[in-house]
């Protein structure tokens, strides 16, 4: 039987790390699912022109580039062209007009020379004569010497015209061209040419000369008031840059497409930019990358916990608290992320782990949850975005600050509030520093700090508000819960005070002794104190059966059989455990009450039964033994020794320290020696037992001090100390 029990214990011990690993893996799976739900968008099978079957909202802040570009284009188009006067062109055109008329004069001279050299006759007077006199070849040569080139009829008309007609043509054409070239824009060229032609038509010139004038207008009336392309383009560029496109930023949660409306090109472009179109989208890379990162983070966490906090890994209840707090943080962030990416329960898990488990676990869990929040807050902006970096930095800094402060101040609700205030200050400072490093706008930095503060403050409020729930669900003896149970106004202690006065005083004394002794050896002093206060509440079932509550000369056991008396006395151990369970006290306190007598023998009643037994009859011990387990914790063992020592010293007639020390030593020696030692299951060392013994002597000496008589003076009563 013993071998089977050992095998069972060994199997349970071996399975504890496996159970812890399973719990960590479970929260890894939950974290991965939440991360995918956050990072992977819901996509829609929709195209331009389709009717939306549901309202689609923006999953993040995004710029409406199409609308922004339209506004910029409108601003560009609104800029008037910038013109300049091309003085060089004006001078060139004017010079060409001047050269044209000089060429006409030269051609007339050349024509006359040719005619004179041919036959010496008189000059021709009309076009036919000039044609005949010059010949086709000479006419062609003369035409090519003039720019712009004239037709044959026009050249012959020039040769036939007299000086006055050519002078008139020149005086009409040249001023018109030189005057109109100033600030002549392209859109006015045709109108100016038309006006000049009408004025030319009114002149007393031949049709051929008028045609020459129109030819010159067509050739030399060119735009000189030109658009400065570079200056105009720069002005338009500046106008486009100056457009305020802030109204084109669609904030996260804003409606892009309303249900029942037709999807426009602009809306489709926004949906595509937000990766909300179900058009062959492939998220396998994101799923693989995020899952791998989280798996490595959780695996590293488990390895670190195995190395730094193996006692937690082997305690299923504490591991369940750790993973439950992590799951609560992750789910809470998932729910609150709709308000802001930075609204993170930064210190929820660190503080809960510090208060309910231990500080080493709290530090390790702070790093893990920081990595989780970093991934979940990244989104499409990337892991190294400002938001992601703020969340990571604030999570680590505020979490570690909160845990460090709690570790230094003790685990009370007030210390949790102080820890939260310091963590909030650290978080705000860290958020501001990251914002400045990323060169964010002051308004954005302040808003980020506000969300960070709300996240930390909310975490602390949730921690304090849910602490009774954690204590009740897991039956935890936290320092805060123990401090509450130390209040003498608890219903059980009030009942002891009114129904079992002697037991009540005994419990207070045992609590004081246990607290001092536990503090002396570094054990949980608060648990020892509360265990001492409540260890004998089972006596409320039959308070008059215990000597400290009996009136003088009225011992009820004088009328009972020894077996019956032993049964009633021993029952107070199990009755106390049942009563504490009913009042929902922590299991650690219940365990102390259920083990404070262990399975020890009620020697007085056993000996009485032996005396009353018939000669040769053997009296069995079992009816005279307590039915509990021997104390298995340091605090339980201290309460057991304090219980025995307080009762033994209370029975002393002497109050001197020497007598107290002798009695305490004998009780402690009996408890830790012999085959029936009650301390066989607890992890106390002999050195610790010696420290506990000295602590008991000091405490009991203070309780049992002798009253000192003082000489009375007139009007003054004697004092005591």
- What are the tens digits of pLDDT across the range 208-247? 888 998 999 899 999 998 888 899 999 999 988 888 877 7
Whether 495 contacts 605, CB under 8 Å:
no
Contacts of residue 314, defined as CB under 8 A and 6 or more positions apart, other chains included, come to: 13, 16, 17, 20
The Cα-based distances of 600 to 445, 502, 542, 609 in angstroms read 68, 23, 20, 16
Contacts of residue 103, defined as CB under 8 A and 6 or more positions apart, other chains included, come to: 145, 146, 147
Report if pTM > 0.85.
no
- What are the tens digits of pLDDT across the range 690-713? 999 999 999 988 886 544 443 443
Q: Label residue 684 exposed, middle or buried (CB < 10 Å: 0-12, 13-18, 19+).
A: buried
Find the range with the poorest average confidence among 7-16, 529-538, 689-698. 7-16
Q: Which residue has the tokens 């190294």?
A: 384
Kind and range of the H or E element at 304? helix 284-308
Three-state secondary-structure class, residue 77: helix
Give dist(CA 590, CA 480) in Å, integer. 17
- The arithmetic mean of pLDDT across residues 118-132, rounded, is 77
Q: Which residue has the tokens 């992750």?
A: 330
Q: What is the pLDDT, as a whole number, of residue 5?
A: 61
Q: What is the pLDDT, as a whole number, of residue 521?
A: 92
Q: How confident is the model at residue 411 (pLDDT cuts 50, 70, 90)?
A: low
Q: What b/e string do you get for 64-82 counting C-beta neighbours within 10 Å, with b at 16 or more?
A: bebbbeebbeebbeebeee
Backbone angles phi, psi at 712, to 5 degrees: -90, 140
516 is written with which tokens?
């001092």
- What are the tens digits of pLDDT across the range 535-570? 999 998 888 888 888 877 778 887 888 888 889 888
Find the range with the poorest average confidence among 190-194, 410-414, 509-513. 410-414
Give dist(CA 521, CA 691) in Å, integer. 7
Q: How far apart are the first and last CA of the chain?
A: 58
Whether 570 contacts 626, CB under 8 Å:
yes
Neighbours of 228 (CB within 10 A): 13
- The arithmetic mean of pLDDT across residues 290-318, rounded, is 90
How far out from the chain centre does Cα 586 lie?
A: 34
Q: What is the pLDDT, as a whole number, of residue 126?
A: 86
Kind and range of the H or E element at 456? helix 442-473
Three-state secondary-structure class, residue 23: helix
Tell me 379's DSSP state. G
93 compared with 613, residue with greater pLDDT: 93
- What are the tens digits of pLDDT across the range 50-88? 888 888 877 767 777 777 888 888 888 889 899 989 899
How far out from the chain centre does Cα 153 lie?
A: 92
Three-state secondary-structure class, residue 480: helix
Q: What is the pLDDT, as a whole number, of residue 556?
A: 84
- What are the tens digits of pLDDT across the range 470-501? 888 888 877 778 888 888 899 999 998 899 99
**How high does pLDDT run on average in the chain?**
84
- The arithmetic mean of pLDDT across residues 638-658, rounded, is 86
Q: Is the pLDDT of residue 672 over 80?
A: no
Kind and range of the H or E element at 651? none
Contacts of residue 467, defined as CB under 8 A and 6 or more positions apart, other chains included, come to: 355, 413, 478, 480
- The arithmetic mean of pLDDT across residues 189-207, rounded, is 89
Q: How confident is the model at residue 531 (pLDDT cuts 50, 70, 90)?
A: very high
Task: State the DSSP string of 568-606.
Answer: HHHHHHHHHHHHHHHTT--HHHHHHHHHSSTT-B-HHHH
Interhelix angle 207-220/87-119, rounded to 10 degrees, is 150
Backbone angles phi, psi at 247, to 5 degrees: -70, -15
Q: Label residue 287 exposed, middle or buried (CB < 10 Å: 0-12, 13-18, 19+).
A: middle
Whether 396 contacts 452, CB under 8 Å:
no
Max Cα-Cα span within the chain: 191
- The arithmetic mean of pLDDT across residues 583-595, rounded, is 90
Q: What is the pLDDT, as a whole number, of residue 513?
A: 92
């Amino acid at each position: 039987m013993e071998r089977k029990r050992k095998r069972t214990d060994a199997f349970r011990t071996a399975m504890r790390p496996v159970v812890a690993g399973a719990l960590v893996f479970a929260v890894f799976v939950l974290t991965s699912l939440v991360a995918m739900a956050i990072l992977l968008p819901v996509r829609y099978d929709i195209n331009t022109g389709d009717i939306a079957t549901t309202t689609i909202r923006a999953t993040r802040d995004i710029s409406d580039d199409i609308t922004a570009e339209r506004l910029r284009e409108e601003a560009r188009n609104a800029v008037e062209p910038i013109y300049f006067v091309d003085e060089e062109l004006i001078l060139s055109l004017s010079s060409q007009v001047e050269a044209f008329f000089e060429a006409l004069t030269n051609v007339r001279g050349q024509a006359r020379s040719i005619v004179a050299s041919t036959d010496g006759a008189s000059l021709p007077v009309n076009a036919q004569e000039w044609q005949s006199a010059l010949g086709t070849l000479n006419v062609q040569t003369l035409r090519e010497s003039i720019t712009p080139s004239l037709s044959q009829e026009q050249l012959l008309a020039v040769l036939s015209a007299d000086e006055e007609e050519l002078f008139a043509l020149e005086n009409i054409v040249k001023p018109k061209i030189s005057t109109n070239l100033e600030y002549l824009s392209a859109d006015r060229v045709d109108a100016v040419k038309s006006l000049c032609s009408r004025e030319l038509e009114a002149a007393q010139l031949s049709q051929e000369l008028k045609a020459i004038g129109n030819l010159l207008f067509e050739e030399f009336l060119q735009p000189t008031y030109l658009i400065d392309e570079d200056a105009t383009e720069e002005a338009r560029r500046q106008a486009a840059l100056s457009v305020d496109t802030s109204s084109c930023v669609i904030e996260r949660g804003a409606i892009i497409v309303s249900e029942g409306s037709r999807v426009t090109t602009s809306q489709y472009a926004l949906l595509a930019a937000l990766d909300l179109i179900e058009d062959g989208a492939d998220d396998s890379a994101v799923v693989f990358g995020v899952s791998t990162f989280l798996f490595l983070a959780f695996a590293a966490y488990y390895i670190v916990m195995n190395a730094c906090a193996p006692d937690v890994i082997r305690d299923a209840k504490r591991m369940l608290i750790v993973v439950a707090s992590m799951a609560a943080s992750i789910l809470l962030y998932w729910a609150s992320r709709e308000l802001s990416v930075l609204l993170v329960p930064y210190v929820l898990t660190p503080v809960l782990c510090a208060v309910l488990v231990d500080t080493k676990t709290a530090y390790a869990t702070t790093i893990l949850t920081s990595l989780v929040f970093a991934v979940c807050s990244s989104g499409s902006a990337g892991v190294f975005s400002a938001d992601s970096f703020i969340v990571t930095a604030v999570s680590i800094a505020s979490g570690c600050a909160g845990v460090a402060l709690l570790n230094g101040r003790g685990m009370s609700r007030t210390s949790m509030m102080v820890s939260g205030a310091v963590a909030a200050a650290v978080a705000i400072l860290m958020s501001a520093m990251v914002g400045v490093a990323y060169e964010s706008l002051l308004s954005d930095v302040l808003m980020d700090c506000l969300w960070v503060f709300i996240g930390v403050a909310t975490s602390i409020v949730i921690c304090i508000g849910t602490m009774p729930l954690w204590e009740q669900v897991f039956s935890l003896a936290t320092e805060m819960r123990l401090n509450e149970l130390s209040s003498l106004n608890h219903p059980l202690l009030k009942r002891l005070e009114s129904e079992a006065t002697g037991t009540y005083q005994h419990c207070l004394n045992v609590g004081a002794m246990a607290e001092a002794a536990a503090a002396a050896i570094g054990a949980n002093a608060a648990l020892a104190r509360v265990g001492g206060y409540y260890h004998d509440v089972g006596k409320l079932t039959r308070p008059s059966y215990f000597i400290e509550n009996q009136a003088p000369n009225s011992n009820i056991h004088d009328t009972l059989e020894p077996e019956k008396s032993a049964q009633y006395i021993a029952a107070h151990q199990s009755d106390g455990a049942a009563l504490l369970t009913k009042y929902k006290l922590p299991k650690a306190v219940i365990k102390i009450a259920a083990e404070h007598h262990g399975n020890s023998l009620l020697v007085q009643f056993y000996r009485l039964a032996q005396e009353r037994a018939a000669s040769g009859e053997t009296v069995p011990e079992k009816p005279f033994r307590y039915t509990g387990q021997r104390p298995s914790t340091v605090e339980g063992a201290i309460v057991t020794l304090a219980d025995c020592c307080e009762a033994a010293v209370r029975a002393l007639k002497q109050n001197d320290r020497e007598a107290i020390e002798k009695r305490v030593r004998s009780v402690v020696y009996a408890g830790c020696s012999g085959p029936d030692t009650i301390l066989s299951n607890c992890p106390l060392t002999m050195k610790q037992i010696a420290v506990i013994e000295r602590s008991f002597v000091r405490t009991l000496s203070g309780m049992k001090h002798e009253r000192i008589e003082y000489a009375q003076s007139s009007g003054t009563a004697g004092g005591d100390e």
